[in-house]
Amino acid sequence: MRPLHPVSPGLRTVLGISFFVLFVVFWAWITLGGNVNRIFLADPLSMLRDGWRLLVEDRFWLDILITIWRVFGGFVLASVVAVPLGIAMGAWKPVEAFLEPFVSFARYLPASAFIPLLILWAGIGELEKLLVIFVGSVFQIILIIAVKVGSTRRDLVEAAYTLGSTNNSIVKRVIMPANAPEIAETLRLVLGWAWTYVIVAELIGSSSGIGYMIINSQSRLATGQIIFGIIVIGLIGLLSDFAFKAFNRWLFPWSLA
């Protein structure tokens, strides 16, 4: 195979789907073929059956909606705080010098370890779930955006100065639009991580959501339901990623033209 040579769109789709097929075939083979004990791993068919029952009888779609709301709520909260801070840090070096060491430190604090504390402060309601996602995302977004903004093309900034821009309009008319696509791309990435935090938050001290269903199923050894829950998360993640990507393309046609 020639290195770096592009693959045709048709073949790309076929190859992409065929791995999913292979994966399911392998899964079916080890479970339906009796290679693994049913208690530990459900086969694809009973997974589907369990999933159907969950949706129809146990109103699992309510859990799905609640989890989606938590992810987006926490994510929006984190973005609203982090994007302006990241831009400020990237643009003004004293702000960066002031905040960067702390944010770098806070980034390594595991969001899941905050759960007991957050429960203590905010109870086990919605606020606590949002805060877990917030804590997990906000520092990451701040740092990535600060780095991107800090590496804004200097020649564009200089060109703007020679056209009469003031310091403030450099930030508003050059730094922000120049980095907008990268900021949107960063948010798309972090939204993916938010899905991990929400499930962790729902595994502990929760009475609704996909994570709650999963931990609940564990006590009943319902591995089919667990796998169904995991796949639902994967599918929603994939869909929101697609939507986000399409939205970014629509928002910033100049960066791809």
Partner 1 sequence: MSKLLIEGVSRTFAGVRGAEPVRALMPVDLAVAANDFITILGPSGCGKSTLLRIVAGLEAPSEGRVLLDGKAVTRPGPDRGMVFQSYTLFPWLTVAENIAFGLRERGMAEEERDGIVASYVDLVGLKGFENHWPKQLSGGMQQRTAIARALANDPEILLLDEPFGALDNQTRGLMQELLLGIWERRKKTVLFVTHDIEEAIFMASRVIVMTARPGRIKSDVAIDLPHPRHYTLKTSPEFSALKARLTEDIRVEAMRTADAH
User: What are the residues whose beta carbons fall under 8 Å from the beta carbon of 17, sequence distance 6 or more?
Assistant: none
Amino acid 210 reads I
CB atoms within 10 A of CB 210: 26
What are the backbone angles phi and psi of residue 152, rounded to the nearest 5°? -55, 140
Q: What is the per-residue binding string for partner 1 in 151-180, x denoting contact by CB under 8 A?
A: ----xx-xxxxxxxxx--x---xx--xx-x
In the bound complex, what is the minimum distance in angstroms from residue 177's beta carbon to partner 1?
A: 5
Q: How far apart are CA 121 and CA 84, in angstroms?
A: 26
Q: What is the per-residue binding string for partner 1 in 126-155, x denoting contact by CB under 8 A?
A: -----------------------------x
42 or 175, CB closer to partner 1? 175
Pick out residues in 175-204 that bind partner 1 (CB under 8 A).
177-178, 180
In the bound complex, what is the minimum distance in angstroms from residue 172's beta carbon to partner 1?
A: 10
Q: Over the Cα atoms of the chain, what is R_g?
A: 23
In the bound complex, what is the minimum distance in angstroms from residue 56's beta carbon to partner 1?
A: 49
127 or 156, CB closer to partner 1? 156
CA dihedral 28, 34, 37, 41 (to 10 degrees): 0
Interaction site with partner 1 (CB under 8 A): 155-156, 158-166, 169, 173-174, 177-178, 180, 252-255, 257
